[in-house]
Chain A
Amino acid sequence: NAGVTQTPKFQVLKTGQSMTLQCAQDMNHEYMSWYRQDPGMGLRLIHYSVGAGITDQGEVPNGYNVSRSTTEDFPLRLLSAAPSQTSVYFCASSYRTGGGNTIYFGEGSWLTVV
């Protein structure tokens, strides 16, 4: 059972380039989300999805797009990368929505924008 799988692990982008961080889960979880983690800031929610075809914004959504065409996949797109998007990105999922459900994280994607 792979859990939550993120690719790539590391990526360097030039300012203005676009790219997609991939996230897949094999646990049949309804809820999927993307966080970024920056020193001293903790984990901040970018976008989330409560099921296929449904997405919503989190705390820091600007500059990012998401879609959820299947239950398993939840890609995060950077439209025009900026140095401020240099961060570690984590995809997470949980069985269903509703408070109290544990979320499980992927191993992270380290992104540097130069």
Chain B
Amino acid sequence: EDQVTQSPEALRLQEGESSSLNCSYTVSGLRGLFWYRQDPGKGPEFLFTLYSAGEEKEKERLKATLTKKESFLHITAPKPEDSATYLCAVTNTGNQFYFGTGTSLTVIP
């Protein structure tokens, strides 16, 4: 069964304290792995798409990496405005999206 597991469920960081969020997946025929950011009361906002193991993408303080079994979202020197829930999703050859339950990140000034 295709599924996505994110860890930790919640993460509190001091401003400037770098860390990583994990997304483990099992999928029959990975077509893409996606990272989204979701602020309270808002819809998920697209961050990155990764297509194959070894691929990396960066945006400001965020860097996403992909292996054959998991993806990491590295947050370097986070700021309070990075506080949000980060969602991971995968698609298979049938174009079905499978979402994880997210990691709630709080960055304390």
CA distance A23 to B100 in the complex (A): 24
List the A side residues contacting B32 at CB < 8 Å.
99-102
Task: Give chain B's interface secondary structure class.
Answer: loop
List the A side residues contacting B95 at CB < 8 Å.
31, 97-99, 101
- Interface digits, A100-111 against B, CB 8 Å rule (1 contact, 0 not)? 111111111000
A90 proximal to B (CB < 8 A)? yes
List the A side residues contacting B97 at CB < 8 Å.
33, 43, 45, 103
A53 proximal to B (CB < 8 A)? no
B101 proximal to A (CB < 8 A)? yes
Assess the B44–A90 pair: CB atoms within 8 A: yes
In the assembled complex, the CB of A23 is this many whole angstroms from the nearest CB of chain B, namely: 11
Residues 52-109 of B at the A interface (beta carbon under 8 Å): 87, 89, 91-97, 99-102
CA distance A2 to B21 in the complex (A): 31
Known: A97-B95, A99-B92, A99-B95. A107 touches B42 (CB 8 A): yes
15 additional contacts, CB 8 Å, given A45-B97, A102-B49, A108-B43?
Answer: A40-B101, A42-B99, A42-B101, A42-B102, A43-B89, A44-B99, A98-B95, A99-B29, A99-B91, A102-B34, A102-B46, A105-B44, A106-B43, A107-B43, A108-B41
Pick the 7 closest A-B CB pairs, nearest first.
A99-B31, A105-B43, A100-B32, A43-B99, A99-B91, A100-B31, A42-B101
Q: A residues near B, CB below 8 A?
A: 4, 31, 33, 40-45, 90, 97-108
